[in-house]
Structure 1
Amino acid sequence: MKIAQISTNTLPVPPKDYGGTQRDVHYLTEELVRRGHEVILFAKEGSSSQATQTFVYPSNNPKKQLDFIIKNLPDDVDFIHDHYGIAAKANPPIPTIRNSHSKGVRGVQIPVYVSKTILRKYGKNKGYYVYNGIRVEDYIFQKKKSNYLLFMGRMMEQKGVHLAIKIAKKTGKELIIAGPVNDRKYFNSKVKPHLNKRIRYVGSVGGKKKQELLSGASCVLFTSTWDEPFGLVLIEALASGTPVLGFRKGAVPEVLKGLPQLLCSNTRDMISKIRHAKRFPSAYKCRRYVRENFSDSVMTDNFLKLYKKIIKEKKYKLIKKSTWNKRKAKIVKMQEEIHP
């Protein structure tokens, strides 16, 4: 198949540190190419990919980005996988899905979410869901753990950093906090006053440093209090052989369905489970769980099945190809007049 992957213009593919959407685009693109498919990638400047062709957005203006996609999209593309939204809303004469990595989307024919929970709650059960996947081999595996707890995520109230601090104090454990500061006021009032030798903030991390923190932790705390669409840190920790405790919010019960002993109802529950850490699944079981359920290979299998299902069942309404071609010709002519 010839497949177009439409990434956002916020972070390159793959992202350096944080960026779940762009990491998904990266893993999916690489795995599709490995299986012999042609992939046309549209992404932010600085992206690096094994895609058959990579087009870098020339502008930050969504209208100009859409025009750029229309101009450069090959006529023989079989499927468009839009992680951004601008192509799907244009309703091209090609089967197209809009992959939402957060909440509900409107104005597109075929939305795809990252969990059943988000499909039901925000998508009103209209569309499909495919879980995120990661390349397990990209994560350092470590059986022997250090004696620290780890919180990894954005510094904002919904992520519950303050709850991770409370849990660390109650259990007497060292806590390492990593992630970018999204809400400076929250960070200064709820996080910074508690920092000391045992509760440390190490900033935003990526690459080898991130791998070392994940693989070395005795446990990762996923204290998010909002309806997480998926929770990538959950599977990143498990792939590193590290148990991760999460609240029964959003998609967390789906992601940890096969490891129910890691699900928590509240902070008391989480504190109790940390004190009985011997009941945690082994490092090998954690990694195997991700490989069998949330690997890049499993994610690609599921997307390919979905592509074929949509094409076979023709569950889409397309504008006439002649209308699309007229629009494309107009865009090309305009750009030739600007840059003769």
Structure 2
Amino acid sequence: MTGFLPREALRVCLVANSRFPIGEPFTGGLESMTWHLARELVRRGHDVAVFAGAGSDPALGATQLGVDVLPDPLRDDLGRHDVDAAPHVQVAEHHAYLSLMLELGGQDGERYDVLHNNSLHYLPVAMARSLPMPVLTTLHTPPQWWLESAVRLDRGAGSFAAVSRHTAAAWSAITPSACVPNGVDVDRWPVGPGGATAVWSGRVVPEKAPHDAVLAARRAGIPIVLAGPVLDLAYFREAVAPLLGSEATYAGHLDQSDLAALVGGSAVAVVTPAWDEPYGLVAAEALSCGTPVAAYARGGLPEVLTSATGRLATGGDVDMLASAIGDAMTLDRGQCRAHAEAALSLERMVDRYEDLYRQLLRRRVAA
């Protein structure tokens, strides 16, 4: 590493989530962030290797994490009699990351200057000190016990970034982290004309609470369109589907361009986390389209918005959210776009990660 120059191209190993593909249509913000980061790093001239789940965008040239191994029906049935047997998916995921870490701990790891971990798995964190390159892990969630224990196990070998000041503060008792807000590609989320409906986008799961968005829009007197992957079918059937009708429709899991057109053609974006949202990428995407936001003030979401670009309501207060929807619809769409370009862009995010990569390398050289 002694020949490292501060501004030269880097060899970056990106480790992604193994459960969901890194490609469109994105399952969530983590997958979107990793895909955009990889593409932008390549555009800037870096050599990027991506390790990701099956079905990831072929243009990334990603190496699949693990091998799809179906359990033997007989052995699997016999194993069910052991109540302590680990679920097949968890074992497969563990082995996928273990195999990768063992490979990178040998000569394969010498090919990279830095490893950037964007998975939610504990092994890339716990095994950071066994690797020849510095490891940066982005914290995409509030503290989870399996990651907390991994952080303690790595004995300070790894470094961390958090997607918001809120998330960094939540992790502060466990590990320090740099704040690197997720960025949105403003070219792929162009300004739209607005419209007469509200929009909600994201994973259709209880912690995102789209049913609250429907109820609030109904009380605000505006139709709403929901879009996103249904990852909890029971929740969708029990809490969301009964609310659908002429004034609340489900558009499905849209690809990025269709989703951008929907968001840009809406009067207001509604964001309804029932948990402390680590960041709130859907809000940043809406602002890039010029669409103001009405949201629950949970987690990192208040960091995404300003008084000129959105209105906040107390988490779970549907009446207050309905009022916020009405107020947000009056905000200037040009100011929403300007805020996204100045403070929430992909370029700003990748600039910060490049700086962190080089800081880690300089620290390694000096050690």
Instruction: Determine if contact 1:3/1:37 at 8 Å carries over to the other structure.
Output: yes
* 1:55-102 residue CA offsets vs partner (Å, 9 max, x unmatched): 333424322343454467351421111112433322212111111211
Q: Flag the 1:279–1:316 CA change in 2: closer, same or farther, 3 A.
A: farther
Instruction: Supply the AA of the counterpart residue of 1:89.
Output: A
The answer to whether the aligner puts 1:103 opposite 2:152 as a matched pair is no
Q: Look up the match of 1:326.
A: none
After TM superposition, list the pairs within 5 Å mapping 1:199-210 onto structure 2: 199-210=248-259
Tell me the equivalent position of 2:295.
246
Q: Deviation digits for residues 80-133 of structure 1, max 9, x if unmatched?
A: 111124333222121111112112233243232211111111342522221111
1:269 aligned counterpart, secondary structure: helix
Which runs of structure 2 are paired with 1:65-76 in the superposition (5 Å)? 65-70=100-105, 73-76=108-111
1:80 aligned residue: 115
Q: 2:219 aligns with which of 170, 188, 195?
A: 170
In structure 2, the residue matched to 1:269 is 320
1:55 partnered with 2:104 = no
Distance 1:152 1:72, change over 3 A: farther
**Rounded Cα–Cα distance in structure 2 between residues aligned with 1:35 and 1:181:** 35
Residues 134, 315 of structure 1: alpha-carbon distance in 2 compared, 3 angstrom cutoff: farther
The separation in 1 between residues aligned to 2:332 and 2:297, in whole angstroms, is 18
After TM superposition, the structure 1 stretch with the greater mean CA deviation from structure 2, 284-293 or 230-239, is 284-293
Q: Is structure 2 residue 21 aligned with structure 1 residue 12? A: yes
Q: CA deviation at 1:38?
A: 1.8
Give the secondary-structure state (helix, strand or coil) at the position aligned to 1:308.
Answer: helix
Q: Which runs of 5 or more structure 2 residues have no equivalent in the other structure?
A: 1-9, 68-91, 152-157
Question: Which residue of 94, 104, 114 maps to 2:133?
Answer: 94
Take 1:129 and 1:49, find their aligned partners in 2: how far apart are those partners?
A: 30
**Aligned partners of 1:113 and 1:130 also within 8 Å:** yes
Q: Equivalent residue of 1:173, what SS?
A: coil
What corresponds to 1:64 in structure 2? 99
Aligned-residue RMSD, C-alpha: 2.6
**Counterpart in the other structure of 2:155:** none
Residues 97 and 110 in structure 1, CA contact (< 8 A), matched pair in contact too? yes
The number of residues matched between the two structures is: 314
User: What pairs with 1:251-330 in structure 2 (closer than 5 Å)?
Assistant: 251-257=300-306, 259=308, 261-265=310-314, 266-277=317-328, 279-282=330-333, 284-314=334-364
Counterpart in the other structure of 1:129: 179
Distance 2:300 2:20 in 1: 24
More displaced stretch, 2-11 vs 61-70: 61-70
Summarize deviations over 1:248-299 as a string: whole Å, max 9, x none. 11001111146464222343333223334563132x2212211211211100
Secondary structure at the counterpart of residue 12 of structure 2: strand
Q: Could you give the per-residue CA deviations for residues 191-221 of structure 1, whole angstroms, max 9, x where no partner exists?
A: 2222111111222222332122111111011
Query: Residue type matched to 1:184 in 2?
Result: L
Give the CA deviation at 1:147: 0.7
Aligned to 1:323: none
| CA 1:175–1:216: 2 relative to 1, 3 Å | same
> Percent same amino acid at aligned positions?
25
The answer as to whether partners of 2:50 and 2:63 remain within 8 angstroms in 1 is yes
Q: Which residues in structure 2 correspond to 1:25-44 (within 5 Å)?
A: 25-44=34-53
Q: 1:8 to 1:64 in 2, by over 3 A?
A: same
- The structure-2 alpha-carbon separation of the partners of 1:227 and 1:94, relative to structure 1 and needing over 3 Å to count, comes to same
